[in-house]
């Protein structure tokens, strides 16, 4: 399966394709996060929708896990191979076009992978700050529009009897509260902000690299895509960053 | 002007090299960099020391024989020039200049600043040619080639094979050279029949010579004395991947 590693251009192709899959997911994730600014209802409904995807969610997860593993394995192999191709270092080093982001891809990549592990334990598995993770939200929907959902169950039906007319009471994971409580910790927020700066830095080289590796380059396109790539990394980082920043500064989440 | 030179001295491929310091007191600003090196070597010969070995031939910037790393830049800091076309007027009185050989696994050091670049010849032998029956040349206008394509092929063909790309690359990759030499043929109708085989054979030869892979640093383009564009690397990637999809690995 890993025979492709013997061919440098094919390895680069694997890096580009797996990278763009992760980049597209990251972009969707960044945009999805913004719903926290709309409010509790929007974010929790979005989270419940994603959880409700069932098999589709697992297909997406498996594709992402495979892409990530291939991306990491190939990058480490290429880095070691390429270091071996330049065994003796120059006494004086001077770079013109190799900017810091391209020269630190492996290091930002490793740090992002470590951050990803923390992030999954924090918000997906819930083993970091479990007290924030185990939050449930009781909400209601009009019975005539939704009906009695198969997955819905009535919490404390006795309490609601008579008071809730034509409504069904549901329970769902309170992502909004979990995020707000989590990011109120300045150390947690700081770690996320740092992780997202590294991610943006990584993406600023990654996107244009995808096009170059796949052979899309030209005298007008290449300068454009390199500038675009820098902006893409910067904006992605900012879109991610504003969530912990807004919570830390108290702009959102006052009602939790 | 006065200069302090820190030059890499190394007996042979296997010995351990080191930087040695030299002083030059009367350097004319109209000298080329290699003429400055000549003055140094004359000095060393007069003193009974071994002169610094470096390669050179035309000294007009077209043959691709010269090449050394000046202050961390192959061919020096000037863009689009070979080191023989670098002039001392670009330096200041009292400058300290560090001079090293091209460094890449594919370029073993012969002595001092001279490296063995025959790996590039073997890459050319692997696919840098077209196969054609001999006979009288056909009419020049029988094969229509657009001006854009002809210009692009000419840009690729301006590569002089000096090795600065691999020396500049943090990965010691020769992709800029390989892509220029493959593209100058792959762009033109005469190169089409062997396009896929050429892309693969030249890249594979590059791999087996010990050069690294491209990480899109674009440092090669910055050092190329002929300003060959990294867009040719993208084209080579495309040709190689198309060949792989068609024929398998």
Average pLDDT over residues B44-64: 96
In eight-state DSSP terms, residue B195 is: H
Q: Which chain A residues are Cβ-neighbours of B123 within 8 angstroms?
A: none
Q: Is residue A109 part of a domain?
A: yes
Alpha-carbon distance of A97 to A196, in angstroms, equals 24
Contact (Cβ atoms closer than 8 angstroms) between residue B10 and residue B115: no
Residue among A3, A10, A86 whose CB faces B212 most closely:
A86
Contact (Cβ atoms closer than 8 angstroms) between residue A63 and residue A20: no
Using the beta-carbon criterion (under 8 Å), do A82 and B237 form an inter-chain contact? no
Closest alpha carbon to A33 in A185, A141, A192:
A192
The dihedral of CA B132, B136, B137, B139: what is its sign? negative
Q: What is the CATH number of the domain that holds A231?
A: 1.20.1300
Alpha-carbon distance of A244 to A188, in angstroms, equals 9
Helix/strand/coil for B212: coil
**Nearest residue in chain B measured CA to CA from A93:** B72
In eight-state DSSP terms, residue B170 is: T
The dihedral of CA A49, A54, A56, A57: what is its sign? positive
Which of A3, A9, A103, A106 is best to mutate for the B interface (most B CBs within 10 A)? Answer: A9
Which of B76, B237, B246 is best to mutate for the A interface (most A CBs within 10 A)? Answer: B237
- Looking at the structure, do residues A8 and A117 belong to the same domain, yes or no? yes
Concatenate the DSSP letters of all residues of B144-159 into one string: ---HHHHHHHHHHHT-
- The answer to whether B212 contacts chain A (CB < 8 Å) is yes
Helix/strand/coil for B222: helix
Alpha-carbon distance of B228 to B181, in angstroms, equals 11
Residue among B215, B218, B249 whose CB faces A4 most closely:
B249
Concatenate the DSSP letters of all residues of A40-71 into one string: HHHHHHHHHHHHTTTHHHHHHHHHHHHHHHHH
pLDDT of A157:
53
- Looking at the structure, do residues A160 and A107 belong to the same domain, yes or no? no
Q: What percent of chain B has pLDDT over 90?
A: 93
- Looking at the structure, do residues A13 and A60 belong to the same domain, yes or no? yes
Instruction: Tell me the CA distances in angstroms from B39 to B31, B36, B44, B65, B230, one per residue in order.
Output: 10, 5, 9, 20, 37
* Surface of B (34-73) touching A: CB under 8 A: 69, 71-73
Alpha-carbon distance of A144 to A131, in angstroms, equals 35
pLDDT of A166:
56
Alpha-carbon distance of B225 to B62, in angstroms, equals 9
Helices A175-183 and A221-248: crossing angle in degrees, nearest 10, is 90
- Looking at the structure, do residues A220 and A231 belong to the same domain, yes or no? yes
Neighbouring-strand partners of residue B22: B5
Under 8 Å CB pairs connecting chains A and B tally to 142
Using the beta-carbon criterion (under 8 Å), do B215 and A91 form an inter-chain contact? no
Alpha-carbon distance of B243 to B249, in angstroms, equals 9
Concatenate the DSSP letters of all residues of chain A into one string: -GGGGG-HHHHHHHHHHHHHHHHHHHHHHHHHHGGGGT-HHHHHHHHHHHHTTTHHHHHHHHHHHHHHHHHHHHHHHHHHHHHHTS-SPPSS---SS--HHHHTHHHHHHHHHHHHHHHIIIIII--SSHHHHS-EEEEEEEHHHH-S-SS---SSHHHHTTTS-SEEEEEEE-HHHHHHHHHTSHHHHHHHHHHHHHHHHHHHHHHHHHHHHTT---TTHHHHHHHHHHHHHHHHHHHHHHHHHHHHTTSS-TT-
> Is B183 a residue whose pLDDT tops 90?
yes
- Looking at the structure, do residues A77 and A200 belong to the same domain, yes or no? yes
In eight-state DSSP terms, residue B182 is: H
Closest alpha carbon to A4 in B220, B207, B194, B124:
B207
- Looking at the structure, do residues A31 and A154 belong to the same domain, yes or no? no
Q: Is residue A222 part of a domain?
A: yes
Q: Is residue A125 part of a domain?
A: yes
- The answer to whether A1 contacts chain B (CB < 8 Å) is no
**Nearest residue in chain B measured CA to CA from A105:** B215
- Looking at the structure, do residues A47 and A105 belong to the same domain, yes or no? yes
Q: Nearest-CA distance from B193 to chain A in Å?
A: 20
Using the beta-carbon criterion (under 8 Å), do B171 and A82 form an inter-chain contact? yes
- Looking at the structure, do residues A184 and A152 belong to the same domain, yes or no? no
Q: Is residue A59 part of a domain?
A: yes
Q: What is the mean pLDDT of chain A?
A: 89
Average pLDDT over residues B153-174: 97
Q: How many domains does chain A contain in total? A: 2
What DSSP element (H or E) covers B196? Answer: helix B195-208
Which of A83, A204, A215 is best to mutate for the B interface (most B CBs within 10 A)? Answer: A215
Contact (Cβ atoms closer than 8 angstroms) between residue A202 and residue A111: no
Residue among B103, B203, B204 whose CB faces A90 most closely:
B103
Contact (Cβ atoms closer than 8 angstroms) between residue A214 and residue A16: yes
Q: Is residue A253 part of a domain?
A: no
Q: Is residue A254 part of a domain?
A: no
Residue among A78, A86, A214 whose CB faces B103 most closely:
A86
Last residue of some domain: A150, A173, A196?
A173
- Looking at the structure, do residues A243 and A204 belong to the same domain, yes or no? yes
- The answer to whether A78 contacts chain B (CB < 8 Å) is yes
Sketch out chain B's domains with CATH numbers: 3-110 (3.10.20.30), 118-131+142-247 (1.10.1060.10)
- Looking at the structure, do residues A244 and A144 belong to the same domain, yes or no? no
pLDDT of A159:
53
Using the beta-carbon criterion (under 8 Å), do A217 and B234 form an inter-chain contact? yes
- The answer to whether A213 contacts chain B (CB < 8 Å) is yes
Q: Nearest-CA distance from A24 to chain B in Å?
A: 21
Domain range holding A149?
A: 136-173
Alpha-carbon distance of A220 to A207, in angstroms, equals 16
Burial of B99 from C-beta contacts in 10 A (0-12 / 13-18 / 19+): buried
The pLDDT tens digits along chain A (256 residues) read: 788 999 999 999 999 999 999 999 999 999 999 999 999 999 999 999 999 998 999 999 999 999 999 999 999 999 999 999 999 999 999 999 999 999 999 999 999 999 999 999 999 888 888 888 888 888 776 544 343 444 455 555 555 544 444 567 778 889 999 999 999 999 999 999 999 999 999 999 999 999 999 999 999 999 999 999 999 999 999 999 999 999 999 999 887 7
- Looking at the structure, do residues A104 and A7 belong to the same domain, yes or no? yes
* Surface of B (136-165) touching A: CB under 8 A: none
B141-149 LR contacts (CB < 8 Å, sep 24+): B143/B189, B143/B190, B145/B188, B145/B189, B149/B187, B149/B188
Q: Is residue A188 part of a domain?
A: yes
pLDDT of A155:
54
- Looking at the structure, do residues A111 and A24 belong to the same domain, yes or no? yes
Alpha-carbon distance of B28 to B35, in angstroms, equals 10
pLDDT in tens, A52-111: 998 999 999 999 999 999 999 999 999 999 999 999 999 999 999 999 999 999 999 999
Q: Is residue A256 part of a domain?
A: no
- Cβ neighbors of B117 (< 8 A, separation 6 or more) are B102, B107, B161, B163
Residue among A84, A97, A218 whose CB faces B231 most closely:
A218
């Amino acid at each position: 399966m890993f025979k492709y590693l013997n061919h440098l251009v094919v390895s680069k192709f694997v890096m580009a394709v797996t990278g763009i899959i992760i980049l597209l997911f990251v972009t969707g994730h960044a945009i999805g996060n913004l719903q926290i600014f709309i409010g509790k209802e929007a974010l929790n409904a979005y989270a419940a929708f994603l959880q409700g995807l069932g098999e589709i969610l697992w297909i997406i997860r498996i594709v992402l896990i495979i892409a990530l593993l291939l991306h990491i394995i190939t990058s480490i192999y290429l880095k070691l191979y390429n270091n071996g191709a330049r065994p003796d270092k120059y006494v004086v080093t001077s770079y013109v076009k190799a900017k810091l982001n391209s020269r630190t891809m492996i290091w930002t990549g490793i740090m992002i992978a470590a951050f990803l592990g923390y992030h999954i334990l924090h918000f997906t598995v819930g083993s970091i700050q479990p007290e924030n993770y185990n939050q449930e939200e009781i909400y209601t929907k009009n019975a005539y529009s939704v009906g009695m959902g198969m997955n819905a169950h009535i919490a404390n039906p006795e309490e609601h009897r008579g008071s809730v007319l034509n409504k069904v009471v549901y329970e769902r994971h309170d992502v909004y509260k979990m995020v707000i409580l989590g990011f109120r910790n300045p150390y947690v927020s700081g770690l996320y902000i740092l992780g997202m700066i590294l991610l943006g830095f990584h993406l600023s080289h990654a996107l244009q690299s995808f096009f170059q590796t796949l052979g899309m380059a030209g005298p007008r396109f290449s300068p454009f895509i390199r500038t675009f790539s820098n902006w893409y990394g910067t904006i992605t980082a900012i879109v991610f960053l504003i969530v912990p920043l807004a919570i830390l500064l108290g702009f959102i989440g006052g009602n939790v | 002007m006065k200069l302090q030179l820190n030059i890499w001295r190394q007996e042979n491929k296997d010995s351990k090299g080191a930087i040695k310091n030299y002083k030059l007191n009367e350097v004319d600003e109209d000298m080329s960099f290699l003429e400055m090196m000549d003055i140094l070597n004359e000095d060393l010969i007069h003193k009974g020391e071994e002169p610094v070995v470096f390669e050179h031939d035309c000294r007009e910037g077209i043959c691709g024989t010269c090449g050394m790393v000046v202050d961390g830049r192959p061919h020096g800091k000037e863009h689009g020039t070979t080191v023989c076309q670098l002039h001392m007027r670009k330096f200041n009185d009292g400058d300290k200049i560090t001079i090293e050989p091209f460094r890449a696994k594919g370029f073993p050091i012969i002595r001092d600043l001279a490296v063995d670049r025959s790996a590039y010849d073997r890459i050319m032998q692997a696919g840098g040619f077209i196969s054609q029956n001999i006979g009288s040349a056909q009419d020049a206008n029988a094969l229509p080639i657009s001006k854009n394509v002809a210009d692009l092929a000419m840009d690729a063909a301006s590569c002089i094979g000096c090795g600065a790309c691999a020396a500049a690359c943090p990965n010691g990759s020769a992709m800029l050279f390989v892509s220029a030499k493959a593209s100058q043929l792959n762009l033109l109708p005469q190169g089409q029949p062997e396009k896929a085989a050429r892309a693969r054979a030249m890249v594979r030869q590059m791999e087996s010579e010990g050069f690294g892979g491209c990480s899109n640093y674009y440092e090669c383009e910055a050092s190329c004395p002929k300003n060959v564009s990294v867009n040719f690397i993208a084209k080579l990637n495309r040709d190689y991947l198309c060949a792989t999809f068609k024929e398998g690995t």
